[in-house]
Structure 1
Amino acid sequence: MTAAQREASAEAPSSSSRDSTAASSTETLALTVFSANSEDDAECEDGQDGATEPLLARDKTAFGADLDEEKALTAAQRPRSRWRMVLRLLGAVLIFGLLIVVSAAFIRFLVRHPHAAVPSVDLPPISDSTANSALSCTQQYLLDTSNANVGVIPFPSTLYDPVLRPRPLEHTLSTEDWPARCLEQYVASGVLCDDLNGRWKDKPPKLDVIWTWVNGSSAELMADWRNEVAADAGWRRKLRRAVQAGAAAVVKHFREHGELRYSVRSVIASLPDSSLSTIHLVVGDTPAYSPFAPPPPNAAPSANATRFAQIPRWLDLPKIELSEPASTARSLARRTALLVHPHSELFRSSQIDGDGTRAAEWRSSAVPSFNSLAIESQLPNLPSTAQTALYLNDDFFLMRNLAFTDLDSPLSGPVFRMQRDLLVGGVAPGTSTDDPDGEWKGLGYSNWLLDQRFGERKRPYLVHVAKTISMPLLREVQEVFHKELSATAEARFRGKATNEVQPLFLATMYIIERHREALLWSFLVARSDADQSGTYSVSERRALLADLGVHPADAPHFPLLSIPRPRRDTVRALAADHAKAGLLNPLETTTEFSSHDGYAFLGLEPKMPFVYPSKEWPASPLSAAPSSDPICVLDIKTCFGDDFVSLDEGEVDVSAVFKRVAFEQTQCGDCLIALLVGKSGSRGLEAFLPEEEEAAEMDEMPVVTLPGSMKTSWQEVDYSAPPGGPGTLRQKTAALIQRYSYTLGSSPSSFQSISYAGPSLSTRLDQLVHPPSDTAPPAFVALNDDIEVPSSDALRDIDRRLQAWFEETWPEKSPWEQ
């Protein structure tokens, strides 16, 4: 269907479309409710107190007309239309009736099936033999085909523990299935051992897919929020002030065009079923505020309190599940399940008292959240079933077939996509001048946190498309930056916390910086402090200098050491290694850099001292001939200090030298890594590792981290302490390096800013599917609503064109749709 044909057909919507629009309009006019989706979380601010609210009506027509009216009339001039009041009253009656239906169905299960009360978090998973009789009341509600999807799932308020309970650190995908001997060999030499031949052919790695979604137009969900805003000078006055002040552009951040349904379809169409584990939908929830029936026998006094988790109305209730602490046979039997996660499940507090009251109060103050940063800060608490997750906003789409290795690899780690031409600098708390509703204030603060932990530098912006998450490492980030992430979670609206973190930027850069730290620790501590005493003896310092190619006698007055660009074969060999291990190679991703070749950001920042900026970034290690130009210059005396290079009798503190090279003089650590990568040969990281030792064979390496590495400041860590646990120091060092492995990749991507209605929008959308002959079709797409205060006609036109394009591009329903 061409754009012109779609435009003509869109003028005559189907009866079902008209019916759904009418119902939506009735609900909107009844309650004048506004909504926010998961990606869009900027808000209009009141000129006095800065309070915020979502700004999207479920029915864009009514909302656009209301805006036009706000612009044209003052509060004193605006008449109160009787027909609108009548429709609002009728809509209110309709919504109240729906709530009664939901409540009644839920209560019926509670009263008729007292055994169906939700299991506590301490109970073991339900066995197959008892699954049918032990389904919770919520699961029974979903399975009852007589219940229609009215946009909510009821669940008991006591279902989820509000207390954050620490869990042990886990293996990542790149360390879980490796015998210790194979992992050590791969890190040292870059050669895959025969034990891994075909390892993932019959049991391919899987990933979870995560969407966050909040629809604030739902009356039952937003009652709590509306009351709060109404008590604060009234939302209509705030909206009017924002429009009159020229701030209506933020409305776009809350507009919803039905993207989620098609974002889900796009993932199902692009990724093979063998790569998918669980689909996670994170949604808002709120108290039901309904006079429910008495609680089940022997229940706690608060057990009758019910909450509503909001869901899209196109979902088929019997095909989805509410995530619950206890497993059910039904969820275990499904190959790919869609689990709904209320905010109440994810938002948890470490504030512990006798009965969890403080944690529950904290959760109540933050749930539901309209701040995507706050919601993302709690994703570590998601009960994921896979170690890798693909995270999407509802306006992110996949356009082409992808392999698992387009996103992650058991050999080389998660794939990150970054922009060289957009660097993020650290901004100390309280000094930012960026718009608090935008993303750059959070980016600057996040990079400042990284500066405090890993040394100061600028870091690249993440490409605005679907992102790969390592769930074990995301939980590690939560442990390190728990205080900062909790403060972010407390801001129900973006910009209202004193300092907010950009969680995905923080987590991605954390992995890259921890890998750099692991490389430097391996050489400077594990290898060079041979007796693990915490101090360098004269002989150990001589050996370290010799490893760098420096004669000890020259060290005190050694000239600058020019480091050539390493020539490596890692990226080229990765394709053969994937085939050997039974993995399909990436279909739409060019691997540009592997962490097995060192540190990704060397040469990125143009003004770093003694480091030559690379014309290409990431710098390719596959040049046809060695370049005569150095990649960096290593100043031995500046980097290691006078005490170290003097080689006088006495001892030098290992941790102090490590901090100097790694963090105080960041260019020293970067250049040292480049030197040692070159000395390791064409593949592997042998020059970083301690000498080989005899050791008993182990089936699996323990999770290896450095003591004290959970601190938020490098000054607080004693890097001379060796890691504990079984295995040789060399094995543990190899496991530490592999834990934080990653690759940088590029894929055809498109960021589309939707600014205007009309045929040009359809033309641009068509070109995503059928691009010009000299342009590669995008594999990743983001559709960003940038429409400034549109008219109702423009919104209808945009919705019509988007809907037509969505249906043409992804006509096949996902397994969970009605």
Structure 2
Amino acid sequence: MDAARGEARAAPSSSSRDSTATSSTETLALTVFSATSADDAEREDGQDGATEPLLARDKAALGAFLDEEKALTAAQRPPSRWRRVLPLAGAAVVFGMLVWSSATFIRVLLQQRHGVVPSVTLPSTSDSTNASTLSFTQQYLSDTSNSNVGVIPFPSTLYDPVLRPKPLDHTLSTGRWTPRCLERYIASGVLCDELDGRWKDAPPKLDVIWTWVNGSSAELMADWRNKVAADGGWRIRLRRALQAGAAAVVKHFREHDELRYSMRSALASLPDVSIATLHLVVGDTPAYSPFAPPALDAASPANATRFAQIPHWLGLSNIGLSEPASTVPSLRIPSLLVHPHSELFKSAQPDSDETQAADWRTSVVPSFNSLAIESQLPNLPSTAQTALYLNDDFFLMRTLAFTDLASPLSGPVFRMQRDLLVGGVAPGTSTDDPDGEWKGLGYSNWLLDQRFGKRKRPYLVHVAKTISMPLLREVQLVFHEELSATAEARFRGKAPNEVQPLFLATMYIIERHREALLWSFLVARTDADHSGAYSASERGALLVDLGVDPAEAPQCPLIAVPRPRRDTVRALAEDHAKAGLPNPLETTTEFSSHDGYALLGLETKMPFVYPSREWPALPLSAAPSSDPICVLDIKSCFGDDFVSLDERKVDVSTVFKRVAFEQTHCGDCLMALLVGKSGSRGLGAFLPEEEEAVEVAEMPVVTLPGSMKTRWQDVDYAAPLDGPGTLRQKAAALIQRYSYTLGSSPSSFQSIRYAGPSLSTRLDQLVCPPSGTAPPAFVALNDDIGATSSDALRDIDRRMKEWFEDTWPEKAPSEQ
């Protein structure tokens, strides 16, 4: 993948295969097809270098195929239009048709090329609905006589195309707490004795997710060409796009076998006890060839079958295709689960029936747009609450503990760049490159502005990212229209507005935690009678909580908020040991949401805030500073009506929105003040007063009524919370649901631009860095090679392959 752009690269399988010898039939089945024509001369000089390097075996197979082509008459060859589009698209090589059995495929393909319509019989798909037998696909994967020809067949009706949202689920940080223990932890920061050793013998697990699309296969590229050709003026637009940057396009569709070694790196770095399931999201297409006569498509059962593409180096018996639970028998969980796009892409269009939803899915699958694919990750049937998401060019290089990525006590670990901020850009106003990542970032931040108040937010470090799967699905509930629109663009930049899903989801968690803390204090605690309106006495009680004499409130008091002295981060290490969790090995915890809001003071021009160059870490050992962390203007933030001494009623939801979203600096500074008043640990100053104990076996999932709306103006924050438990318990559960930490780890982003010895040197320094530099734990290797010679590409492939093998020589269990 082009890491800098984040594009889901469609990659040639030739560089992904084992170098071991294969049978003659398999070699022919994996033949690389290349179409040439006089239109080649229309390409600009230098673009011929932007082709995919071939292995020696593939060159031999290609030569055999070209000899066969010379023997065909012009009437028997595929239409010239296809041969002209291929070189224009910058894909000089495409793989041949891959089918159920390599032997059957060769016979069918040769018959097709000579105009013969064969009788094609594929295995029946009826078993896919019979849970007592192996499904159609499971039979194929378990048949040891089948070799990996790059696809897994599955029935086209296997997956429901309609998005059917599920109820909200517990997160990792709320799933195994009793209400009493959770309330105590949020209030005081102290773990209950019942959590002693809780995770020692049952450590939390995570899923690991990769996305991969092989865009140089005949099926995928032919499907793409059909879509482009159906749109008027396709030839002109293709030519213009290629002239504008053919090499840049090719980079998105080139690989250096990164996925194989990314998987090896994850297995080498993560402890076995921490991994639940490995997931590989792949493209899929109908199982018919673009070269087949129309009669074949109409007569063959192949039109009811789809092919999920997989790398050729996977062993079929070592992987599984994800299938609906009702059709999967009780078998061992595979080490690697494959998910075709057809499983994940689901229509969220209101009132659409299954036929309409299936038509929508057909129009967007397969996708070559990483943003589109990531927008559908909420639909992935994960087996764990936490996932680590890697592009195929992301690698882990040092041993990690589970808590380097997430913790049941403090939530997911996020890695951000404080010095690189993303501003919101309204739809239709962006001037950023639509193929790049900043247009999507600006639009995503604008969506966050509409929901949580306007501000700039930090860029995520471009390495593997932690995902809370329950909260990712919650994000889908809130922004389902925006994510669905993103999914409709097969290629980056082709939709009017595209979301950056992982940036959106990460910032959503941070902002929802802020919202939960402010709601707990301004609504649950201060509106004591739950009337939805502040009485004079309730307003006075709030001012006293802030340290303000109600009689002085009308005189516009300014509260200089000192930097709180906190022990949260240090205590987290002790709490991990108490709960039977390891401490992070390669991550420095820089901030915990149990200390408030991470983005306090992030923008240097924020009113009333004295910015810091670091995250607002609040250590207990820090000497008191004479400079306040921020200044809170009571009258400006809460309004004249609130600080008045008369008996008028003041609407709770209106005040909440003013403090939290209209004047975001007010909410930020208020939180810093209350964190300081909570003591060295915990968030007790935010919580409602203690009530008579209510015995609740397990807290339900807590969320604010109406909070699934996309605009804060549309939410009634004074609406009561339903469900069992006291209001204090509910507030604590809500805060803990969105908990998180910010961490930093040794990381490296390497832009691969040139061939030669310097490339090997740079790669070697990742393993053995210069003196005084820590080896990186997280690495991204970005293919940023422009138009270059085939010799240079082969040199780069060789050097990267050697480095990969030296660094991760042990095969993954899923490899053949």
Q: TM (normalized to structure 1)? A: 0.86
**Does the alignment pair 1:161 with 2:160?**
yes
8 A contact 2:702–2:734 mirrored in 1: yes
Q: 1:444: which partner in 2? A: 442
Q: 1:28: which partner in 2? A: 32
Cα distance change on mapping 1:332 and 1:463 into 2, 3 Å: farther
8 A contact 2:752–2:759 mirrored in 1: yes
Structure 1 position 621, deviation (Å): 3.4
Structure 1 position 246, deviation (Å): 4.8
CA distance in 1 between counterparts of 2:571 and 2:204 reads 20
AA matched with 2:763:
L
Cα distance change on mapping 1:354 and 1:270 into 2, 3 Å: closer
CA distance in 2 between counterparts of 1:360 and 1:418 reads 38
**Does the alignment pair 1:640 with 2:599?**
no
Cα deviation digits, residues 320-373 of structure 1 (max 9, x gap) = 111000267777533x62111010000001336585111111111110000000
Cα distance change on mapping 1:430 and 1:352 into 2, 3 Å: closer
Q: 1:308: which partner in 2? A: 307
Cα distance change on mapping 1:86 and 1:463 into 2, 3 Å: farther
Match of 2:127 among 99, 116, 119: 116
Of 228-237 and 543-552, more deviation after overlay is shown by 228-237
8 A contact 1:387–1:472 mirrored in 2: yes
Cα deviation digits, residues 766-804 of structure 1 (max 9, x gap) = 000011120000000000011111110110000000000
Match of 1:803 among 794, 801, 804: 801
Structure 1 position 187, deviation (Å): 0.3
Aligned residues: percent identity?
Answer: 77
Cα deviation digits, residues 704-737 of structure 1 (max 9, x gap) = 0000100000000000012110000000000000
Cα deviation digits, residues 577-606 of structure 1 (max 9, x gap) = 000000000000000000000000001110
**Does the alignment pair 1:152 with 2:163?**
no
Equivalences for residues 328-727 of structure 1 within 5 A: 333-334=332-333, 337-351=335-349, 355-727=353-725
Of 471-480 and 104-113, more deviation after overlay is shown by 104-113
8 A contact 1:102–1:154 mirrored in 2: no
Structure 2 gap ranges (5+): 1-16, 38-42, 44-48, 60-64, 79-91, 109-117
Structure 1 position 421, deviation (Å): 1.0
Of 418-427 and 556-565, more deviation after overlay is shown by 556-565
Of 316-325 and 212-221, more deviation after overlay is shown by 212-221
- Structure 2 SS opposite 1:777: coil
Cα distance change on mapping 1:756 and 1:220 into 2, 3 Å: same
Cα distance change on mapping 1:270 and 1:24 into 2, 3 Å: farther
Equivalences for residues 69-218 of structure 1 within 5 A: 86=70, 95-96=96-97, 101=102, 116-119=127-130, 126=131, 130=132, 134-218=133-217
Cα distance change on mapping 1:351 and 1:234 into 2, 3 Å: closer
Cα deviation digits, residues 734-787 of structure 1 (max 9, x gap) = 000000000000000000011100000000000000111200000000000111
Equivalences for residues 286-297 of structure 1 within 5 A: 286-289=285-288
Q: 1:123: which partner in 2? A: none
Q: 2:776: which partner in 1? A: 778
CA distance in 1 between counterparts of 2:404 and 2:281 reads 24
Cα distance change on mapping 1:151 and 1:18 into 2, 3 Å: closer
8 A contact 1:184–1:735 mirrored in 2: yes
AA matched with 2:175:
E
Structure 1 gap ranges (5+): 1-12, 34-45, 47-54, 66-80, 120-125, 295-300
- Structure 2 SS opposite 1:744: strand
Q: 2:250: which partner in 1? A: 251
Cα deviation digits, residues 179-218 of structure 1 (max 9, x gap) = 1110000000000000100000000000000001001111
CA distance in 2 between counterparts of 1:765 and 1:24 reads 35
AA matched with 1:550:
V
CA distance in 2 between counterparts of 1:431 and 1:94 reads 41
8 A contact 1:423–1:458 mirrored in 2: yes
- Structure 1 SS opposite 2:448: helix
**Does the alignment pair 1:264 with 2:263?**
yes
AA matched with 1:28:
V
- Structure 2 SS opposite 1:312: coil
Of 348-357 and 806-815, more deviation after overlay is shown by 348-357
Cα distance change on mapping 1:304 and 1:266 into 2, 3 Å: same
Cα deviation digits, residues 439-498 of structure 1 (max 9, x gap) = 000000000000000000000000000000000000000000000000000011110111
CA distance in 2 between counterparts of 1:557 and 1:32 reads 82
Structure 1 position 221, deviation (Å): 3.3
Q: 1:4: which partner in 2? A: none
CA distance in 1 between counterparts of 2:331 and 2:203 reads 18
CA distance in 2 between counterparts of 1:520 and 1:93 reads 56
Q: 2:85: which partner in 1? A: none
Count of aligned positions = 753
- Give me the CA root mean square deviation: 3.4
Cα distance change on mapping 1:59 and 1:549 into 2, 3 Å: same
Structure 1 position 167, deviation (Å): 0.6
Structure 1 position 694, deviation (Å): 1.3
Structure 1 position 252, deviation (Å): 1.8
CA distance in 2 between counterparts of 1:555 and 1:601 reads 28
CA distance in 2 between counterparts of 1:638 and 1:157 reads 60
- Structure 2 SS opposite 1:333: coil
Q: TM (normalized to structure 2)? A: 0.86
Q: 2:112: which partner in 1? A: none
8 A contact 1:31–1:219 mirrored in 2: no
8 A contact 1:408–1:415 mirrored in 2: yes
- Structure 2 SS opposite 1:117: helix
8 A contact 2:620–2:680 mirrored in 1: no
Cα distance change on mapping 1:61 and 1:16 into 2, 3 Å: closer
